[in-house]
Chain A
Amino acid sequence: MINNESIVEEVVGQFGQKVFGFEEPFGLLTFTTNASDLTEVVDFLKNHPEFKFNFLTDIAGIHFPDNAGGELCSMCMIHSWENNIRVRIKVFVPIADPKVPTLSTLFASANWMERETFDFYGIEYTGHPNLKRILNMEDMDYFPMRKEFPLEDATREDKIDALFGR
């Protein structure tokens, strides 16, 4: 029977200090790794004879402005359909040099998910075949989902009002 404990045991046995920060929010195994080891860890889980994490569910960026040295987080979630178990792997990178290796070599679906995360957060996925903006216009000069940028459209004048405006 594959459960979170056996995955933790196996992953720690294989990677030792390279994987850390294990937790299980709502039963979903979550851990952190270094950017340089991400591909290796995911590859290990994907090609493991028992775990068979065959499906990349999601990639999302998260911005933690107060987490100095690891402001940007790239989260990927993989799913083993055979064992019906999910694992969430996080990588924290500094905002000055946000480089994370791409997963598109392992999962074709990572292509657009990483482009979206790049578009929103500016996380650069090294080795990505076509890393450019996907949802926003290509001449946009900032990464809108970062916490410091405003949500509202700055071209709108009708909401500038002393009582009911912004």
Chain B
Amino acid sequence: MSNIKIVDAPEGLEGSGFFATSLDKAIGLARSYSLWPLPFATSCCGIEFMATMGSNYDISRFGAERPSFSPRQADLLMVMGTIAKKMGPVLKQVYLQMAEPRWVIAVGACASSGGIFDSYSVLQGIDRVIPVDVYVPGCPPRPEQIIDGLMQVQHLAQNESLRRRNTEEYKALLESYKVL
């Protein structure tokens, strides 16, 4: 017996031989369960991501089966660990190389705010160089928390309008980060 659970279909109109729903929802569903994360693991949180990826926690169960190390094919940038100022431009470049739609998770205190490293060399949160969708607190966060962060992104992917990334608001956000 398999205990695989198949996700519920989105809201829609169902009849014999057809199912009608909005494109947003269908695509959101597909996207959210096939997120390809780019593990941008710099330090300690990267080791916890290893545990998340490993056999006990197994992030693949959430559709993130394939860690994409190439930014070109990644949907989700998972920044795990301290980002020093020296690393900031590299991070930004990775973000620029990603195709839309792209989401960013800041995993851990360092990526979110600089954490305990309030020092001259550490970037005080990656949101100073790139926009962030989900922050996962913890130093380091437990694998459950990282998975919860991923599920938050799934939630975003399911519920956002396909046109959100064409909106003025989104463009202004990117403009504020000098990304375009």
Contacts and interface: CB of A to CB of B under 8 A. Distances in A.
Given A144-B120, A144-B121, A153 B114 contact: yes
Contacts, number: 28
Contacts of B128: 155
B124 A156 contact: yes
A153 B86 contact: no
Contacts of B118: 151-153, 156, 159
B86 A137 contact: yes
7 contacts: A135-B121, A137-B85, A151-B118, A151-B120, A152-B118, A153-B124, A156-B114
Interface of B: 85-86, 114, 118-122, 124, 128
A149 B120 contact: yes
A126 B131 CA distance: 45
Interface in A118-166: 135-137, 144, 149-156, 159
A152 B121 contact: no
A1 B128 CA distance: 60
Contacts of A135: 121
A9 B103 CA distance: 68
A164 B85 CA distance: 25
A31 B122 CA distance: 36
Given A135-B121, A155-B128, 12 more contacts: A137-B85, A137-B86, A144-B120, A149-B120, A150-B120, A151-B118, A151-B120, A153-B118, A154-B120, A156-B118, A156-B124, A159-B118
Most buried by A among B85, B120, B124: B120
Nearest to A154: B120
A136 B84 CA distance: 9
Nearest to A133: B86
Contacts of B86: 136-137
B160 to A, nearest CB: 28
The 3 lowest CB-CB distance pairs between A and B, nearest first, are: A156-B124, A137-B86, A144-B120
A111 to B, nearest CB: 20
A155 B125 CA distance: 11
B91 to A, nearest CB: 14
Contacts of B120: 144, 149-154
A136 B85 CA distance: 9
Contacts of B85: 137
B111 to A, nearest CB: 15
Nearest to A156: B124
Nearest to A138: B86
A136 B86 CA distance: 7
A150 B121 CA distance: 11
Nearest to B113: A158
A118 B43 CA distance: 25
A7 B86 CA distance: 44
A144 B121 CA distance: 9
A155 B119 contact: no
A137, A153, A159 — which one has the most chain B CB atoms within 10 A of its CB? A153
B124 A155 contact: yes
